[in-house]
Structure 1
Amino acid sequence: MSGTTIKSINVEPLNIPLLEPFTIATGSVNSARNVLITVTLQDGSRGYGECAPFPPSTGESQETALAAAQGCAELLKGRDAAHWRVLAKLMRSVFYSQTTACAGMEMALLDALTRSYGIPLYTFFGGASSFVETDMSIPIVTPERGYELAKETVERGITSIKIKVGSDLREDVERVEAIRSGAPNLPLTLDANQGYTANEALLCLEALDDHDIRPILMEQPVHKDDYEGLRYVTQHTTVPVAADESAANSAAVARLIGMGAANVVNVKLMKSGIVDALDIAALCRAHHIQLMVGAMIESRLASSMAAHLVAGLGGFSFVDLDTPMLLAEDPFTGGYEQRGGIYDLSSVKSGLGIELK
């Protein structure tokens, strides 16, 4: 029996309140209702993983993720974590709709394995860099609150802002204007979370252009299944357009690229898992599609995983890993050290470097 053989897997709920409700076009949440996975190997190495289901985006709830993670645990016990790609494929072949459960389990496996190997995860993924720099998201709020949050973001030393839009077009434009006033020098990304039609998305960009506001990116303007609508927006604006919910896996990304439907792809581990995220990154690089990384409502744990992946691979143009800053408490320590919007991974000795408080 190898030292990297899986000895035990524990699955439990992970509930963390938010500082204030977070509202996007598809819904509002006031807490992270996630799942914590702990994998222990034969040599005593312990790894942590997080499932962050968000029903409108992933079609999963905490309850379904818990059940699927328990099922994954039964599949994996007694197997060798060193075969993580094979194990990821096995989980996906059975729990193909439960992507967050598979992603959380992949995360825990890789954390445990690289702790056993004694190397940080960002080194394991290629060591292109040892830090990432995230933006800060501002949800669907009043223009006044948006202005306040923009000023706070500048004061924190964060250098770019992502604005949630996709509700009422006029209100969206007012909110973006207010945020621009609060942070006049920061680049702005718009994220509609599927909230617009193709024409509404273009109208929004036109209205902002009239106010001399040009976003650096518009993310997922239309419904995730409306590939033609996404292509229409991409072809009718010079603002780069990102696919998020439409880019659920590498097969979907291949289709988007073939259609010329997006300039940027947002890789989220909760959508694709880690093995498929590596395939998505390779696909995008080969076709000169820019890479972005994002998150669901995730704690420091899952955000660290994404940060290690992005730092290790390098070449991500847009980083949106701010959700730990939205939480009212942090049950974890380590993973990275934060300065402004920079997550510095260089002090991590092995794995994710995350510990439970």
Structure 2
Amino acid sequence: MKITDFLITPFQHKLINPLKTANQHYSHRSGFIIKINSEDLFGCGESSPLSGFSAESLKEVSYALESYHLAIMDIGETSVAELLSFIPIHCENLPSVEFGLETAIYDLASKIEGKTFSQYLNPNAKDQIKSNGIVGIHTPKDNYKIMKVKVGFRNLFDELNNLDELTTQFGKDVKFRLDANGSMDLPRAIRFCKEVEKFNIEYVEQPLPKNDLEDLAELRNHTSIPIAVDESLTDFHSAEKIMNAQAANVFIIKPTVSGGFTTCSKIVEMATTEKIISVITSSLEGPIGLSACAHFASALSIDEVCGLSTASLFEDSFSSPFSIKKGVFYLSQKPGLGVGINVA
């Protein structure tokens, strides 16, 4: 293939309602859409670091993308492998850039071969991925089997009342993922986990601050509820540290935060070897990034329920190439991601 153009376009998507976590407040998402042209085909990717999770800034992302642009524009005939090889050189320690560039490259390559994005990466990839719902966004009528609940910003009495109400609302068969965003200390987390064991809890996500791996390991000794890590997992090295500390039962992998398919596949492979569950979730990306997360999950053969039901959080409801019905995310079967650049 020969690269004929490389475009970087800033975007901003506004949330319908501001999203509150224990530590952050989001009203919109900003980032860059990457478009790589080869003759009459193009591949697109998204690089949108998430404040509170990502270490890099939008300015750093912009500089790295321009640096990559300058490196590839005059190389003539090239290959997927060569395009990928430039990423570590120009985008070190910038996982959202790695994610965006790898997505654009694989999107272009899969279109050239007439395959879906996920089937280009894995011929046995499925066309659907299970997804959880989000309390406050989705209702019992949406028929999700697992719901995500933000916790950690209420007192314990109110947390338990809230879970009582949600159990009544959604039914006892629906499981809950409780996301604390690192808001607790060890004594509070131990008490919280003991008190919520009576509910149908799938796991508690990031109950302690991201660097408290020893305390996360200790917490696992005090509860039967699986412990998941999110903010603690930022790259392959951090995943190794979590594994060595025996700090988690579940890895929550956000490609925008952790890196592209190359990094995510290494993390999943290591987790599988150590019998740690892997879950792919979005970082409030737009349709390009969200589609890429879903295709990653499919290509990595993730059977767990992932966190992909975020498109409805935004005002400009995406004209997306996928649909979600009864907690199942159906991927586009068009070549590549199946996303037109106009929905960026």
Query: TM-score w.r.t. structure 2 length?
Result: 0.91
2:313 equivalent in structure 1: 326
Name the residue aligned to 1:107: 103
> What displacement does 1:235 show?
2.6
Change (3 A) 1:237 1:39: same
Matching residue of 1:234: 220
Q: Is the 8 A contact 1:129 1:311 kept in 2?
A: yes
How far the C-alpha of 1:161 sits from its partner, in A, is 0.4
Equivalent residue runs for 1:74-113 within 5 Å:
74-79=70-75, 82-84=79-81, 87-88=83-84, 90-113=86-109
Aligned AA for 1:244? D
Residue by residue over 1:119-161, the C-alpha shift from the partner in whole angstroms, topping out at 9 and shown as x without a partner, is 10121222331101211223xxxxxxx5xx5xx4211222210
Secondary structure in 2 matching 1:55: coil
What SS does structure 2 have at the residue aligned with 1:349? coil
Q: Unmatched 5+ residue regions in structure 1?
A: 139-145
Give the whole-Å Cα distance in 1 for the aligned partners of 2:88 and 2:222.
37
Figure out how many residues of one structure are paired with residues of the other and give that number: 337
Q: Which stretch of the first structure deviates more once superposed, 107-116 or 180-189?
A: 180-189
| 1:205 aligned partner | 193
* Equivalences for residues 250-265 of structure 1 within 5 A: 250-265=236-251
Q: TM-score, normalised by structure 1?
A: 0.87
Residue 301 of structure 1 aligns to a residue in which SS? helix
Q: Given residue 83 of structure 1, which amino acid in structure 2 is its aligned partner?
A: V
Q: How far 1:88 moved relative to its partner?
A: 4.1
Contact 2:53 2:231 in 1 (8 A): yes
Give the distance between the partners of 2:73 and 2:268, measured in 1 at CA. 30
Secondary structure at 2:103 match in 1: helix
Percent sequence identity is 20
What does residue 183 of structure 2 align with?
A: 195
> Which residue of the partner structure matches residue 124 of structure 1?
120
Which residue number corresponds to residue 153 of structure 2?
167
Using the alignment, how far apart are the partners of 2:49 and 2:233 within structure 1?
17
- Residue number in structure 1 paired with 2:329: 343
Q: Which runs of 5+ in 2 are unaligned?
A: none
Distance 1:342 1:328 in 2: 22
What's the RMSD between the two structures over aligned residues? 2.0
The equivalent of 2:50 in structure 1 is 54
Q: More displaced, 114-123 or 167-176? A: 167-176
Structure 1 CA distance for aligned equivalents of residues 114 and 214 of structure 2: 47
Distance in structure 2 (CA, Å) of the matches to 1:187 and 1:178: 13
Distance 2:316 2:152 in 1: 29
Determine helix, strand or coil for the equivalent of 1:275.
Answer: helix
1:36: which partner in 2? 33
Aligned-residue offset at 1:313: 2.2
Q: Is the 8 A contact 1:242 1:264 kept in 2?
A: yes
Correspondence for 1:73 among 43, 64, 69: 69
Query: Whole-Å Cα distance in 2 between the matches of residues 191 and 208 of structure 1?
Result: 13
Aligned twin of 2:302: 315
Secondary structure at 2:53 match in 1: helix
Structure 1 residues 256, 88: closer, same or farther in 2, change over 3 A? farther
- With over 3 angstroms needed to count, the CA separation of the structure-2 counterparts of 1:329 and 1:58, relative to structure 1, is same
Q: Are the structure 2 counterparts of residues 158 and 87 from structure 1 closer, same or farther at C-alpha, using a change threshold of 3 Å?
A: same
Worse overlay, 12-21 or 97-106 = 97-106
Alpha-carbon separation, structure 1, partners of 2:262 and 2:36:
18
